[in-house]
Amino acid sequence: MKKKVIITRNILPDGLSLLESHGIAFDVNLSEKPLSYEELMEKACNADAIISMLSDNIDQRFLESNPHLKVIANYAVGFNNIDLMTARALNIRIGNTPDVLTEATAETALGLMIAAGRNFKGANSAVNDGRWKNWGPKDHLGFALRGKTLGVIGLGRIGMRLAEMAASAFKMQIIYTANSTKENTFGAKIVSLDELLSQSDYISIHAPLNASTKHLIGKDQFQKMRPHSVLVNTARGEIIDQDALIWALKEKLIFAAGLDVTEPEPLPLSSELLKLENVFILPHIGSATFEARREMSILCAKNIIAGLNGENLISEVK
Ligand code: DGY
């Protein structure tokens, strides 16, 4: 009998062709909505594997109800939506999609640095609201990137690529936090989090979400930042205490924020964040280039094929 994979959203087709060519059957959720927890639970009971999205909650109850699953390939580099300990105990292999989305996500972070630092939201809303009456020498002023200091929280693959872009294109000085010193060609220096907060003009978050990074940036941390600084987050919304961010933006403790991730997602229309002009928000599109999403589709399929064959995944979360 053919092996069967549940694919929780309609991903780009390249990976599907690969699964097909390996004789693997799949059931794709073609709707515009994620499957509910119960819907996924129901589908998983006669499947061998899942391609999951970062919005699917693969928790202990889900995994313990489906111990027959061989592999779950997350269509994301982050895997905070999956209970790894339980998966490990049940011998369910977990895959993710590093590398192939590095460029796209670093580009998103750089875009947010520019959009927030140059006040694109306020300027664009003036155009849309009919407040653009004439050209003003002091209208919509923002800060340049060139020669400034960029603090990267978590110099992993994406943080490193952003740092390279910022150093080469804008001659930015790079400081970073990480568990260990990272070799680099542009003179980036490792510092403590407090040093990074107080010395950076731009701060970009690239850490994984886990117990030690949840609300890593709160009121105390905002108080250490420079008043002209710009905070960017393309990692996970929960790394910033969002109430503290709203407070810091209102009190002008920082100049602006650029967010690709929020807590929760989607951000409700009632969120205070949406009322502020000095925050530029995207709907978690860090990896949303045709190129990255195609490669993610292929990598997920390769992880599924390897896992169903009882082999190590191409990219396995251990
Ligand atoms: C991921 O894949 O985990 C990131 O959120 C991409 O934006």
Largest CA distance in the chain: 71
CA 282 from chain centre, in angstroms, equals: 11
Q: Residue 318 falls within a domain, yes or no?
A: no
What's the token pair of residue 94?
Answer: 């977990």
121/254 same-domain check: yes
Which domain does 22 fall in, by range?
4-100+290-308
Q: Residue 122 falls within a domain, yes or no?
A: yes
Position 148 scores a pLDDT of: 98
* 134 Cβ contact list (under 8 Å, min separation 6): none
Q: Is residue 264 within a helix (H) or strand (E), and if so which, with residue range? A: none
87/37 same-domain check: yes
Q: Residues 272, 275, 276, 277: what is their CA dihedral angle, to the nearest 10 degrees? A: 160
Q: Residue 289 gets which letter from DSSP?
A: S
34/18 same-domain check: yes
14/38 same-domain check: yes
* 268 Cβ contact list (under 8 Å, min separation 6): none
Ligand 1, residues 287, 289, 293, 300: which to mutate, most atoms within 8 A of Cβ?
287
Q: Residue 314 falls within a domain, yes or no?
A: no
Q: Residue 162 falls within a domain, yes or no?
A: yes
95/106 same-domain check: no
Q: Residue 313 falls within a domain, yes or no?
A: no
96/242 same-domain check: no
Distance CA 72, CA 309 (A): 13
231/243 same-domain check: yes
Told to judge if 251 belongs to the known catalytic residues of this protein, a careful annotator would answer no
91 Cα–ligand 1 center, Å? 25
Give the Å distances, CA to CA, from 205 to 87, 194, 241, 274. Answer: 27, 14, 13, 20
User: Pairing mode, if any, of strands 49-52 and 71-74?
Assistant: parallel
49/189 same-domain check: no
Ligand 1 pocket member 225 (CB < 6 A): no
SS3 content of the chain, % helix, strand, coil (to 5): 35, 15, 50
Position 211 scores a pLDDT of: 97
Q: Residue 315 falls within a domain, yes or no?
A: no
Query: Are residues 313 and 307 in contact, defined by beta-carbon separation less than 8 angstroms?
Result: yes
Q: How many CA atoms lie within 13 A of 30 on its CB side?
A: 3
221/124 same-domain check: yes
78 Cα–ligand 1 center, Å? 6
Position 208 scores a pLDDT of: 98
101 Cα–ligand 1 center, Å? 8
Question: What's the pTM value of the predicted model, to 2 decimals?
Answer: 0.97
Position 149 scores a pLDDT of: 99
Q: Residue 218 falls within a domain, yes or no?
A: yes
Count Cβ atoms below 10 Å from residue 313 Cβ, excluding itself. Answer: 21
Q: How many domains does the chain have?
A: 2
Per-residue pLDDT of 230-246, as tens digits, reads: 999 999 999 999 999 99
Task: Check which CATH number belongs to the domain holding 91 and give it.
Answer: 3.40.50.720
160/219 same-domain check: yes
Query: 3-class SS at 203?
Result: strand
Ligand 1 pocket member 105 (CB < 6 A): yes
Ligand 1 pocket member 54 (CB < 6 A): yes
Q: Residue 30 falls within a domain, yes or no?
A: yes
Report residues of the chain scoring pLDDT below 70. none
Told to judge if 265 belongs to the known catalytic residues of this protein, a careful annotator would answer yes
* Helices 290-308, 102-117: inter-axial angle, 10-degree rounding: 140
Would you say how long the chain is, in residues?
318
Catalytic entry in 161, 206, 284, 293: 284
105 Cα–ligand 1 center, Å? 7
Radius of gyration of the chain (CA): 21
183/106 same-domain check: yes
Position 109 scores a pLDDT of: 99
Query: 3-class SS at 144?
Result: coil
Query: Are residues 178 and 206 in contact, defined by beta-carbon separation less than 8 angstroms?
Result: no
Position 29 scores a pLDDT of: 98
141/182 same-domain check: yes
